[in-house]
Amino acid sequence: MKFSIKEIASLINGSVSGDSNIEIKNVAKLEEAKSGDLTFLYLPAYEKYFSTTKASAIIVKTGFSKSRSDITYIEVSSPEKAFFAILKKYFTPEFPLSGIDPSAFIHPTVRLAENVAIGKNVVISSECKVGANTKIFHNTVIADNVLIGDGCLIHANVSIRENCILGNKVIIHSGTVVGSDGFGYTPNDKGEYEKIPQIGNVIIEDDVELGSNVSIDRAAMGSTVIKRGCKIDNLVQIAHNVILGEDTVVSAQTGVSGSTKIGKHCILAGQSGLVGHIELGDNVVITAQSGVSKSILKPGYYMGSPAREIKTAQKIGVHLHNLPEYAKKISELESEIKKLKEDFKLT
Amino acid sequence: MKFSIKEIASLINGSVSGDSNIEIKNVAKLEEAKSGDLTFLYLPAYEKYFSTTKASAIIVKTGFSKSRSDITYIEVSSPEKAFFAILKKYFTPEFPLSGIDPSAFIHPTVRLAENVAIGKNVVISSECKVGANTKIFHNTVIADNVLIGDGCLIHANVSIRENCILGNKVIIHSGTVVGSDGFGYTPNDKGEYEKIPQIGNVIIEDDVELGSNVSIDRAAMGSTVIKRGCKIDNLVQIAHNVILGEDTVVSAQTGVSGSTKIGKHCILAGQSGLVGHIELGDNVVITAQSGVSKSILKPGYYMGSPAREIKTAQKIGVHLHNLPEYAKKISELESEIKKLKEDFKLT
Amino acid sequence: MKFSIKEIASLINGSVSGDSNIEIKNVAKLEEAKSGDLTFLYLPAYEKYFSTTKASAIIVKTGFSKSRSDITYIEVSSPEKAFFAILKKYFTPEFPLSGIDPSAFIHPTVRLAENVAIGKNVVISSECKVGANTKIFHNTVIADNVLIGDGCLIHANVSIRENCILGNKVIIHSGTVVGSDGFGYTPNDKGEYEKIPQIGNVIIEDDVELGSNVSIDRAAMGSTVIKRGCKIDNLVQIAHNVILGEDTVVSAQTGVSGSTKIGKHCILAGQSGLVGHIELGDNVVITAQSGVSKSILKPGYYMGSPAREIKTAQKIGVHLHNLPEYAKKISELESEIKKLKEDFKLT
């Protein structure tokens, strides 16, 4: 791939300084860029790499101090957005796959729309429906009566259980399981656990992305729902009957327990956990490793286990850090009071 | 599916009020039920949905205030158990699969009992044995010399390594790995880690259920053992040589380190962790996100990281919450003592 | 398998006491050993099993009190290393697999070195290269242009995405995904997240082992790098652009966030988490369940969430344990001061 500086500057509406006739072959991070690469700078932490980067061109914020003369600058109002526009236009991966591989099994009752691509050893069971331009990669298994929308990308070794529903442009990474049974048991008279049939399904709406090795359980009854635009990272657990609101982000290794309902535009940072049967309002952010044990309806940042409003949690954190000092002070105060009492009695 | 109210009332020994001639088509949660649905109420938190549910019939506790006249009531002593009985009788999923799919590979030395069902692209390696009525779904791989009991249900894309043993009625969900190598290394003179051969296996006893994307490592020597009736949720880590006692429940994303031995009827709640080489007695409950660093032999609830008896942990939690106030008080006490000392000297 | 005591003693340079003519059939842990087994003792916690072990022979530290006369002793300077040598020589599993299974798909452009073994239903896509003596087990999927070194062992149901690179003697357990997309989005004007193309790869160097159900994301640009000799346990999350230094160990369910760089010979214990864009120096040990939110360059042990030097963390932990007592003391001090003030005024 080759691009001219002019072509790039035109796409991102940038102002060029330096040699505008160079040819760009690739994009790279500042510290890893080679000659012929285009790079970008927007995080202050990375400015230290500017003086030594081998990139041929760099996208910077308008007004950036152009201290080097051996690099071509493209100044824009938002280097981050500009770089994203370039990645999106020139570097979106294609995931080549076409046609229905003869080693795939497609049940005769399955309805495939136009331009569906099915990889090797894929199993698509009875009554499934696959929308236009959807690609399903090798060794993935789709159980009965799964409805898959248009333009989805399902990677290798994914498992989707019966009756689940996927919207359009859903991306699912390898190793992920959609629709495994919810974790529901009831103890019998002997104290043994009997399995409660899990007869619901999972609904995944448009533009959702699920990372690798994610587990999303089917509802006991009704549906576990991942609403439009949710982004779920690797190794996340979504239990039965959970509802995730639109555009909510769930980072890696987070777990949401059964029947918990989460609002729109929430962020659950990595390794956080939510108990079951609670509710999170819209725009609630849970920081990493936090544990949410009660409903949180007010937008804001929450931290700790149990999770508290972040200012409260941070305040407690500071005092916790000082705790050894407080213990010492208490001990000193005891001595002083003891001495005061003695002195007082002496007078 | 259609059921009469009388049929249902008879099954659960319930008392009917209202129209007993209606026909039930499905079951649903209170807040999601439609006309023709049977629902149930036993959690107080869900009573708020009673006035608006569209269900045609509801199972309630004897004595429930029957304030609506447009719904049929079935009163029973335990709505939860009654509803479970209905689910179990009418709604237990069947997982249709029969025969040995021609695309499956069954090594000639494998012994299959009657009525075994093997899905597409399944691999069953040499010397394996599969018990009667067991179903193994598509793309699952069973390595050499694995013994599988009767009536097991192994979902798609499961991996079971050599020499592991499964009892009867074991359920394994997709993406789960049984018998991966334990995490054992020894440093050599250069400080590099050399792999210690992991030559044991995993034994999974009757009535165990493993969720999706679970990892259960084989023993270094001997066996990792999951005893009868254990229920293990998604994304759980069970390390080498762990022993889980009968009817123990392990919630999602929990990890048990090597050689730890857990008693019967324990509960390890979500995202909890146990260090290696310790022991938990029977009836020990570890709350979510707790970290257990020492053996716990006394039954009860334990919380926190490090885990303490729950009352102690909660007490510390309350004081932690008050810590900013304590710090303020310490500061005030310092001032007061300073003043007292001054006043005292003045006299 | 059968070994003579003399053969074993010779291998480990041990001194035999007792019957040196017995034949050893297997190895086992002290508490599980049967007649004919060789066992070993080096952890003090296991000494309690010595008096009752049924093993026929035992490897002990030179000078061990040989109180039983019905067992053959082999004394060595390091029983642990001696036992490892025996396991390595006689018990290293072979993982029998040979040739290219006809059900596997090998793209015509793939270059296979000598003695490669490919299992059933494996997919190896275009432009891949597989080194000598590498084994790839059933139902594993390798995407385009993946380079795999010599002597690798890739278990069943693994997924490796396009352009990733594996060194020599890499072991990957089942369910693991190498090269899934990094978790990168940018919000558009409507607040919806747009996917940032993840165009980098994963480089896994020689002698790395990845457990089961591990997720290693490809870099946004450049490479996620797992350097020589790293050992990664089950269910670990490695985000995009992370770099793990040589001989670093990552225990189960740990997560490392994007662009974080970890030094050599570090240990990240189970369920620990690291935020993104930070750095760990060499020889840093993070204890279980800890959360690292800032760079740590100084070697040593770090504990807690947020992680602190272990002595500081332990000190805070002790004071936290005493917090209820401190609260009581503060309350007592308040009373005493109140009384002192009253007494003082009275004089």
The 10s digit of each residue's pLDDT in C60-88 is 999 999 999 999 999 999 999 999 999 99
pLDDT higher than threshold 90 for residue B347: no
Q: What per-residue confidence (pLDDT) applies to C3? A: 85
Q: Which long-range contacts (CB under 8 A, 24 or more apart) does A152-158 make?
A: A153/A95, A155/A212, A155/C159, A155/C161, A155/C180, A156/A119, A156/C123, A156/C141, A156/C143, A156/C159, A157/B139, A157/B157, A157/C139, A157/C141, A157/C157, A157/C158, A157/C159, A157/C177, A158/B157
Confidence of residue A347 (pLDDT cuts 50, 70, 90): low
Confidence of residue C347 (pLDDT cuts 50, 70, 90): low
Task: Give me A191's structure tokens.
Answer: 């104290």
Q: What per-residue confidence (pLDDT) applies to B258? A: 98
Q: What per-residue confidence (pLDDT) applies to B151? A: 98
Strand order of the β-sheet with A159-160 is A105-106, A123-124, A141-142, A159-160, A177-180, A215-217, A237-238, A255-256, A273-274, A291-292
Determine the Cα–Cα distance for residues A85 and A88; give it in Å rounded to an integer.
5
Determine the Cα–Cα distance for residues A40 and A61; give it in Å rounded to an integer.
9
Q: What per-residue confidence (pLDDT) applies to C43? A: 86
The 10s digit of each residue's pLDDT in C128-182 is 999 999 999 999 999 999 999 999 999 999 999 999 999 999 999 999 999 999 9
For residue A174, which residues of chain C lie inside 8 Å, CB to CB?
141, 159, 161, 177, 180
Q: What per-residue confidence (pLDDT) applies to C229? A: 98
Strand order of the β-sheet with C72-76 is C15-17, C72-76, C57-61, C37-40, C26-27
CA distances (Å), origin B290, targets A22, B253, B310: 58, 12, 11
Q: What does the pLDDT average to over C31-38?
A: 94
The 10s digit of each residue's pLDDT in B87-100 is 999 999 999 999 99
Indicate the residue type of B231.
Answer: K
Determine the Cα–Cα distance for residues B219 and C153; give it in Å rounded to an integer.
19
Whether A28 sits inside 8 A of C222 (CB atoms) is yes
The 10s digit of each residue's pLDDT in B32-85 is 999 999 999 988 888 999 999 999 999 999 999 999 999 999 999 999 999 999
pLDDT higher than threshold 90 for residue B339: no
Average pLDDT over chain A reads 95
Closest among B329, C331, C340 to A337, alpha carbons compared: C340
Q: What does the pLDDT average to over B149-173?
A: 98
Whether B215 sits inside 8 A of C229 (CB atoms) is no
Cβ neighbors of A65 (< 8 A, separation 6 or more) are: none
Radius of gyration of chain C (CA): 28
Whether B196 sits inside 8 A of C119 (CB atoms) is no
In this predicted complex, what is the ipTM?
0.95
Determine the Cα–Cα distance for residues C96 and A300; give it in Å rounded to an integer.
56
Q: What does the pLDDT average to over B310-331?
A: 94
pLDDT higher than threshold 70 for residue B211: yes
Give the chain A residue whose CA is nearest to the CA of B87. A197
The pTM for the full model equals 0.96
Confidence of residue A346 (pLDDT cuts 50, 70, 90): low
The beta-carbon neighbor of B177 closest among C212, C270, C289 is C212
Q: Quick check: helix, strand or coil at residue C334?
A: helix
DSSP H/E element including B322: helix B310-346
Confidence of residue A263 (pLDDT cuts 50, 70, 90): very high
Q: What per-residue confidence (pLDDT) applies to C44? A: 86
Count chain B–chain C contacts defined by CB atoms under 8 A: 180
Least confident of A255-264, A287-296, B265-274, C46-55: C46-55
Determine the Cα–Cα distance for residues A320 and A310; give it in Å rounded to an integer.
15
User: Residues, chain B, total?
Assistant: 347
Average pLDDT over chain B reads 95
Cβ pair B142, C120 in contact under 8 A: no
Determine the Cα–Cα distance for residues B250 and B232; give it in Å rounded to an integer.
5
The 10s digit of each residue's pLDDT in A66-97 is 999 999 999 999 999 999 999 999 999 999 99
pLDDT higher than threshold 90 for residue B163: yes
Q: What does the pLDDT average to over A285-302?
A: 98
Neighbouring chains of B at 3+ CB pairs under 8 Å are A, C
> How many other CB atoms sit within 10 Å of the CB of residue C153?
20
Task: Give me B90's structure tokens.
Answer: 């009418």
Strand order of the β-sheet with A26-27 is A15-17, A72-76, A57-61, A37-40, A26-27
For residue C334, which residues of chain B lie inside 8 Å, CB to CB?
329, 333
> How many other CB atoms sit within 10 Å of the CB of residue A218?
25
For residue B239, which residues of chain C lie inside 8 Å, CB to CB?
252
Q: What does the pLDDT average to over B172-189?
A: 97
DSSP per-residue letters across A22-91: -EE-EE--TTT--TTEEEE---GGGGGGGGG---SEEEEETT-----SSSEEEEES-HHHHHHHHHHHHH
Neighbouring chains of A at 3+ CB pairs under 8 Å are B, C
Cβ neighbors of C208 (< 8 A, separation 6 or more) are: C167, C170, C171, C226, C227, C228, C229, C230, C231, C232
The 10s digit of each residue's pLDDT in A272-283 is 999 999 999 999
Q: What does the pLDDT average to over A187-200?
A: 95
Q: What does the pLDDT average to over A254-264?
A: 98
Whether B235 sits inside 8 A of A215 (CB atoms) is yes
For residue A237, which residues of chain B lie inside 8 Å, CB to CB?
233-235, 252-253, 270
Through-space distance between the first and last CA atoms of chain C, rounded to whole angstroms: 94
Give the chain C residue whose CA is nearest to the CA of A28. C221
Q: What does the pLDDT average to over C7-30?
A: 93
Whether B183 sits inside 8 A of C235 (CB atoms) is no
DSSP per-residue letters across B59-74: EEETT-----SSSEEE
- Chain centroid to Cα A341, Å, comes to 62
pLDDT higher than threshold 90 for residue A339: no
Cβ pair A108, A90 in contact under 8 A: no
Average pLDDT over chain C reads 95
Q: Which of C128, C192, C221, C326 to mutate to test the interface with A (most CBs of A within 10 A)?
A: C221
The beta-carbon neighbor of A213 closest among C213, C323, C330 is C213
Closest among C285, C278, C241, C290 to C264, alpha carbons compared: C285
Determine the Cα–Cα distance for residues C279 and C277; give it in Å rounded to an integer.
7
What percent of chain C shows pLDDT beyond 90?
A: 93
- Give me the helix-helix angle, A310-346 and B310-346, nearest 10°: 50
Q: Quick check: helix, strand or coil at residue B7?
A: helix
Determine the Cα–Cα distance for residues B99 and A315; give it in Å rounded to an integer.
64
DSSP H/E element including A9: helix A5-12
CB neighbour class for A194 (10 Å; exposed up to 12, middle 13-18, buried from 19): middle
Q: Which residues of B are annotated as catalytic?
A: 240
Whether A196 sits inside 8 A of B84 (CB atoms) is yes
φ, ψ of residue C117 in degrees (nearest 5)? -120, 130
Query: Which one of the listed residues A155, A240, A319, A321 is annotated catalytic?
Result: A240
Cβ pair C299, C316 in contact under 8 A: no
Cβ pair A303, A320 in contact under 8 A: no
Query: Which one of the listed residues C240, C277, C319, C321 is annotated catalytic?
Result: C240
Q: What does the pLDDT average to over A11-25?
A: 93
For residue B157, which residues of chain C lie inside 8 Å, CB to CB?
139, 157
Region of C325 (left: φ > 0; alpha: ψ -120 to 50; beta: rest) is alpha
